[in-house]
A and B are shown apart, each in its own frame.
Chain A
Amino acid sequence: MLADAPLATEVSAMLQTLVVASIVFLAAVFVARRVVQSLRKAKAKAPGGCDCGGQ
């Protein structure tokens, strides 16, 4: 059992890294999606649109 302790610590550390990396990845995907959604919304035209451009 004693011989397994460093291995267990290493596995635990690897698992932790994996969980952290997954959480950070998901957060990055969520933020990227929100940005894309905002840009898509910007593409839609408002009612009547303001035709003041070029003033």
Chain B
Amino acid sequence: MTSLHAHPAAPPENSGGQNATVPVAKDALRVAIIGNPNTGKTTLFNALTGLRQRVGNFAGVTVERVEGTFKGHDGKRVVLLDLPGSYSLSAGSPDERIALEVLLGRDQDRWRPDVVLVVVDAVHLERNLFLASQVLELGIPVVIALNQYDMAESEGIRIDIPALIHEVGVPIVPTVAMRGEGIDPLKRAIAIAATLPAPARQFALPEIADVALGPLAECLIGDGFAPVAAHMEALRLLGVEHPEAHVARVPCIEGSIHRAAESLRTAGFVPGRFEAEVRYGWIAQVMSRTVTRRVNALLTLSDRIDAVALHRVWGPLVFLLLMVVVFQAVFSWATPLMDSIETFIGVAGRTIGGLLPPGDLQSLVVDGMFAGVGSVLVFLPQIAILFAFIGILEHSGYMARAAFLMDRVMRRVGLHGKSFIPMLSGYACAVPGIMATRTIEDPKDRLATIMVVPLMSCSARLPVYTLLIGAFVPSTSVLPGVTLQGVTMLIMYLLGTLVALAVAAIFRKTLLKGPVRPMILELPPYRWPSLKSLAVSVMQRCQLFLRRAGTVILSLSILLWALATYPKSTTDPSLSVAAQQEQQLANSVLGRIGHAIEPVVRPLGYDWKIGVSIVSSFAAREVFVSTMSTIYGVGDTSENAQALQTRLVEEMNPVTGQPVYTPLVAVGLMVFYVFALMCISTVAVTVREAGGGRIGWGWAALQFGYMLVLAYGAAWMVYAGGRALGYGG
């Protein structure tokens, strides 16, 4: 048990491998930085610490912990800990729980700050002051950074800072973290704050409430809470459904909360809303004394755009139109760049292959490495274009509108509006998407979202879609500037999204039954996206893709080449070279595995080569393309991605003499990839985020299983249904 009076804090105890606590000199000042999401907290953290940062995890959990250091105004070393963004200390989500535990000195590291730096968004001062008012009652000196001060001014918000300091009772420094403005005064304020007494609650509770909450506060003080923090906790616990871990084990807690709530109810208050009412009551007074506004032209423009973008009918149409433009651009704009990369890889492969003597080494380099990695690398321009568009939609403020439009749909299927962001992240990659569910408070909402995020078409599926669409879907124009290829791509993305919503609805009505909670969403004003930040996000995505191609895809391509090449078998010399290669491939390990699984994939219209490519892509989806490239490339040094598409179109079944790949098979295959969970990393992150251990593995197995059944069933329905309708195949 740690007394909150312990000041200065005890040195950190390294509780095992995971944390990243910077060794703190005894005289170093510990500062925790906290703020609402989107207040520029991390930008301010970076502005203060520069590159002197260390990233790890909070002990015992996987919430990222970032610590940095800087030299304080008085020359003293300052250690700054970045706490997860939180709207309040109500500890609804796992991230908020960590913030509260650190501030109360009850996290596993026992890292108790000497000063808390609260980052407040000057544009949304009213909402941000809620968290600040809670932090003021923790018994720790506080400094407030009034960030994005320039934006507040440009939006006509005038804040009387001396008056605000007077009202709140702590140093307040206006900052513009993006431009590094106000950083020096902020450092000075932190040094001064450490010498000041800790602030206290700035408003008085009704007397009856004081009396009702007294025994609850006493119960907490008895467990080692500092008196000031205990009163904050008592007020906070009234609005919490179940006490969190750090207070749940206090023996008198349940009874004390119950009695306090009863007393308040008798006095005519609603206990669940009491804290919000008293805090917002105080905030309203502060705002009326310190802030003035004038109507702003920019807001009016945003409002005018929103009249269309959020319209009941026009809104979804605008959204759909934007999506059509995005996917069409992914297809048509990328082509010239893809052709250049393809030519370059082809030339490089042939040149390097030419330097090597004919034999297995040459085949490994040309058919394994260059064909395997090259076939995936050509999709880099498409990845860049897709993420440039996603970036523009995010930075311009449109994504928040899309979330608003989707909230209606989300709630209909029983998901929380906050589920939209993890699902949107799933378009990039399911791993960050699943990790983004940490912002969802309700465990059932969170788990339902985790279960469906991998159904969103991630960037690893893009190469598979592009290969098959490019080969089998004609580029006929369906609308001016829109081709059937672009529309097919959009349909694949929509299919994944719609099925994700349907599956979520099933989970919320069965295994994960529970009430639907409303979402409060902040709509930022529209703004021009910054080219620099757009470029950075696209570059980061491209780097990830390249790193993956150079490591995982390369290694798997080499292994697949070995499986497709060995053991060597004697072939019939009377056959053509192509037939001999086919015979060798069929006798290889890969060929034998393929033939063994052929009966399973045959009902879907697939031959053994598709079957083995699907099996190999269980490690990573893009490997489907590289396996295809390796299978069709072994022994042929002139292959490249374009030729792969041609090879697929020309591939004939040796028994029937019919094409192996018909448009029906190709569509079925794409549908299979829309639904199948073929990614080891996603399985691992689901295990972890669903609770780890047996429970985590159980949910991951369920996720993998239902997606596989869905993929197989849907691909079969496409193939069998298409044939029944006379589409051939």
Of A19, A42, A53, A54, which one neighbours B687 at CB under 8 angstroms? A42
Question: How many chain B residues touch A (Cβ–Cβ < 8 Å)?
Answer: 53
**Complex contact A31–B692 (CB within 8 A):** no
**Complex contact A46–B692 (CB within 8 A):** yes
Is B18 an interface position by the 8 A CB rule? yes
Is B60 an interface position by the 8 A CB rule? yes
**Complex contact B555–A27 (CB within 8 A):** yes
Separation of A54 and B18 alpha carbons in the complex (Å): 29
**Complex contact A41–B555 (CB within 8 A):** no
**Complex contact B364–A23 (CB within 8 A):** yes
Chain B residue numbers with a CB within 8 Å of A39 are: 684
Question: How many chain A residues touch B (Cβ–Cβ < 8 Å)?
Answer: 32
CB closest chain-B residue, reference A13: B359
Q: How far is the CB of A52 from chain B (nearest CB, A)?
A: 5
Q: How far is the CB of A34 from chain B (nearest CB, A)?
A: 6
**Complex contact A42–B62 (CB within 8 A):** no
**Complex contact A19–B559 (CB within 8 A):** no
CB closest chain-B residue, reference A9: B357
**Complex contact B692–A53 (CB within 8 A):** no
Interface of A is mostly: helix
Is B477 an interface position by the 8 A CB rule? no
Interface of B is mostly: helix
- In the complex, chain B residues 569-606 whose Cβ is within 8 Å of any chain A Cβ: none
**Complex contact B360–A50 (CB within 8 A):** no
Is A49 an interface position by the 8 A CB rule? yes
Separation of A30 and B694 alpha carbons in the complex (Å): 27
**What does the 1/0 interface line of B690-710 toward A look like (CB < 8 Å)?**
111111111110000000000
Of A24, A42, A48, which one neighbours B688 at CB under 8 angstroms? A42
Chain A residue numbers with a CB within 8 Å of B562 are: 20, 24
**Complex contact B62–A16 (CB within 8 A):** no
**Complex contact B443–A50 (CB within 8 A):** yes
- In the complex, chain B residues 348-373 whose Cβ is within 8 Å of any chain A Cβ: 357, 359-361, 364
With contacts A23-B558, A24-B558, A38-B681 taken as known, whether A45 is within 8 angstroms of B688 at the C-beta atoms is yes
**What does the 1/0 interface line of A4-39 toward B look like (CB < 8 Å)?**
000000001100110110011011101100110011
Is B725 an interface position by the 8 A CB rule? no
Interface residues of B (CB under 8 A from A): 18, 57-58, 60-63, 94-95, 97-98, 357, 359-361, 364, 438, 443-444, 446-447, 450, 511-513, 551-552, 554-556, 558-559, 562, 619, 680-681, 683-685, 687-700
* Nearest 3 Cβ contacts at the A-B interface: A47-B94, A53-B695, A42-B687
User: What are 19 A-B residue pairs whose CB atoms fall within 8 Å in the complex?
Assistant: A13-B359, A16-B360, A16-B361, A20-B360, A27-B555, A30-B555, A38-B681, A41-B685, A42-B684, A42-B696, A43-B692, A44-B62, A46-B61, A46-B62, A46-B438, A50-B450, A50-B691, A53-B694, A55-B511
